[in-house]
Chain A
Amino acid sequence: MSGEPAIRLEHVTKLFGGHKVLDDLSLDIPEGSAFCLLGRSGTGKSVTLKHIIGLMRPDTGHVFVYGKDVPALPRGELSEIRRSMGFLFQEAALFDSITVGENVAFPLRRHTDWPDSKIRDVARVKLANVGLEKDYEKMPAELSGGMRKRAGLARAMALDPDILLVDEPSAGLDPITAGEIDQLLVDRKRSGTTLVVVTHNIPSARHIGDELALLHEGRVIERGTAEELDRSENALVRAFMRAEGAG
């Protein structure tokens, strides 16, 4: 871990229909670290991820990735910086008109000039990493929710991104699969990937995260290691950290 912020949010505010979802949010995420964003539903965790990858623009404030102001980037530069990021959506968001394998191969087809055979091989390896090696030719509709999420993770990791944004990786998964996904994310962290994980699952956050932050009403109310949050003076933080069964 170099300690340099790979991601920086400065005074980000976002409103939806007059409701403030992010309220002057500021956040630094060091390069190579695993950062877990915790919080109750509707506190702006997924919205934060979407700001980082430029799917949403802040009403006020700035979002920097590797020092570049994401909302201000022209289309070409935005695409370039997105190529260095992977994003797992909460509901996986697989392209439902192509096979699971082609979903994983899609970013490779778009951004490499590799031959078809190599693209298919790499996609198979990525699927094998999430335990879906036999499901290349299946359509997304044929997969269970958990399998779709794993396929989404394989797609997010297809280009070996420097930054991986993960929205609720273990929601809806059985404990064993959730544990496997967590381990996969830990492996990514060890290989130098910057992880930003949104989760309700406290054991999972403890396992993956170097640092945890609790988002409440659009603001980070506490940030630190799991141990530091356990000892927080804020009752809400302590209550959240004690919710071991959550997720």
Chain B
Amino acid sequence: MLERLGGLVLGLLAWVGDVALFGARALYASVVPPYEFKEIWRQVFEVGWRSFPLVALSGFAVGVVLSMHTRASLERFGAEAMIPAGLAIALVRETGPLTAGLLVAGRVGAGIGAELGAMKVTEQIDALEAVAVDSFKFLAVTRILACIIALPLLTTVMDFAGILGGYVAEASISGMSPQLYLHRAFSLVEFSDFVPATLKTAVFGFIVGTVASYLGFTTSRGTEGVGRASTSSVVLASVCIIVVNVVLVKLIFFMFPDRT
């Protein structure tokens, strides 16, 4: 039993080590020429623009729900005026970045895992190499960089869609004007709330791109393997985001001590 547990832990550590090396290799390759600007831009479009409707709609819905919960809590203390600020802080600091990260892990992670996995089992990755193209750089590095670039942008979309959703919910109940809502919403949100929380999603993007690309590149066992790569990309990237988020939040508190 203990031996089996030890084997599992060692296997997990080996996997984490492999993924970390894959990611480190990608970061190194991204700064060494030749650069794949055209493909990076195409992937930013695929990851960012195509995720825009999902993230915007989800952000709006999260904003509505958060507003309803916040109202239910603050009403008891007669602090309804704090609803916009409370919602904005919750969204900008944590809910927006984490939700955007998990949504992208679901949509993009699954896509990258399946696409690269299918390319692996049908020898398309070998075919790229055969036409003298660095498949790692062309397929993995471009996708990882695209995720790093797109996620902070999508998080910003998420934040603003959430604030819009919060306003719609609040306006339907209290009839608050948009000017007053926005004034109250941003009255307590500071630069140090928005920038670190949004930039940390670049790390989430790195995780999604790296985990999914790694699983795609190491796919085996035909179509079954492709399915597994797709599912595992979502599950493992989501778990990694949630765990790494704990460290990042602690780091942000350390670097911005006046942020309470």
User: Would you call B244 an interface residue if the criterion is a C-beta within 8 Å of the partner chain's C-beta atoms?
Assistant: no
- Say whether A180 faces chain B, with CB atoms less than 8 Å apart: no
The interface stretch among B71-79, B97-105, B128-136, B166-174 is B128-136
Name the interface size band of chain B.
10 to 19
A50 contacts partner chain B, Cβ-Cβ < 8 Å: yes
Is A1 at the interface (CB under 8 A from chain B)?
A: no
Query: Shortest beta-carbon distance, B40 to chain A, in Å?
Result: 15
Contacts of A68 in B (CB 8 A): none
Instruction: Give the shortest distance, in Å, between A45 (CB) and chain B (any CB).
Output: 15
Measured CB to CB, the nearest residue on chain A to B129 is A55
Give a binary string over B121-139; 1 marks a CB under 8 Å from any A CB, 0 the rest: 0111011111111100000
Asked whether any CB of chain B lies closer than 8 Å to the CB of A82, the reply is: yes
Chain B contact residues, majority secondary structure: helix
- Contact (Cβ within 8 A) A95 B132: no
For the complex formed, measure the closest distance between the CB of A136 and the CB atoms of chain B, giving whole angstroms.
Answer: 18
| Residues in chain A near residue B124, CB distance under 8 A | 93-96
Choose one: B123, B131, B133, B134; the contact of A91 (CB below 8 Å). Answer: B123
Is A19 on the interface with B (CB-CB < 8 A)?
no
Instruction: Tell whether, in the assembled complex, residue A82 and residue B127 are in contact, meaning their CB atoms are under 8 Å apart.
Output: no
Task: Give min CB distance, A152 to chain B, whole Å.
Answer: 8
Interface residues contributed by chain A, number (CB under 8 Å):
27
Contacts of B133 in A (CB 8 A): 79, 110
Could you tell me the dominant secondary structure of chain A's interface residues? mixed
Given A89-B127, A95-B127, answer yes or no on A111-B122 (Cβ-Cβ < 8 Å). Answer: no
Among residues of A, the one whose C-beta sits closest to the C-beta of B115 is: A97
B131 touches A93 (CB 8 A): no
Interface assignment of A11: CB less than 8 Å from any CB of chain B: no
List B contacts of A82 (CB < 8 A). 129-132
Does chain B have a CB within 8 A of A240? no
Q: Annotate A21-36 by CB proximity to B: 1 below 8 A, 0 otherwise.
A: 0000000000000000
Closest partner residue, chain A, to B127 (CB atom): A93
15 A/B residue pairs, CB under 8 Å, sorted by A: A53-B129, A54-B129, A55-B130, A80-B132, A82-B130, A83-B132, A85-B130, A89-B123, A95-B124, A95-B127, A95-B128, A96-B122, A107-B132, A111-B131, A159-B131
